[in-house]
Amino acid sequence: MSNNYEPSENVLELLRSSEELVGKIGETSVCVRELGIKGAFVQSEMAVEDNQRVTLNIELGEGGRQLAAQALVRWRRPGKGFGVEFVAVADHEALADYMRSCARNLRAASTGGHKRGETPTDTDD
């Protein structure tokens, strides 16, 4: 079965990746969680300030493309990490492609790989 589901822009804005991604801020390795089109949660003990501008480099999945984003720290949880809002993304299409892939995978998992309204017996020959 081909999966030709294309999520709307509204879905992409709400979606957060559950995958833990490898990232870097300067020379510091970080874990990027809850990646979305507009920002992410950065799991790290590094000290940051509210509204601090950071350059975040993220590896989008296994063998994925590298994404560089300028971001502002919007909130902090000392010792755990911080939330960032993207203000500039070098390759926005790479991020959008990655999020579309996450949406398709999530939809396939929730439907057991079948299209909405389709049951396993609908596809049996």
Which residue range forms the structural domain that includes residue 100? 17-108
| Cα–Cα distance measured from residue 94 to residue 48, given in angstroms and rounded to the nearest whole number | 27
- Residue 86: pLDDT above 60? yes
CATH of the domain at 94: 2.40.10.430
Q: How many CA atoms lie within 13 A of 125 on its CB side?
A: 1
**Which residue, among 81, 83, 75, 102, has the nearest Cα to 13 in the 3D structure?**
102
Q: Which amino acid is at 90?
A: A
Please give the tally of structural domains in the chain.
Answer: 1
Task: Please indicate, yes or no, if residue 60 is contained in any of the structural domains.
Answer: yes
Task: Please indicate, yes or no, if residue 87 is contained in any of the structural domains.
Answer: yes
- The reported pLDDT for the residue numbered 66 is 87
Q: Answer whether 56's CB lies under 8 Å from 71's CB.
A: yes
Q: How large is the average pLDDT for residues 17-46?
A: 90
- For the ranges 1-5, 53-57, 100-104, the maximum mean pLDDT occurs at 53-57
- The reported pLDDT for the residue numbered 14 is 55
- Residue 25: pLDDT above 60? yes
What is the reported pTM?
0.74
DSSP conformation class of 61: S
- Residue 20 has phi, psi (to 5 degrees) of -90, 125
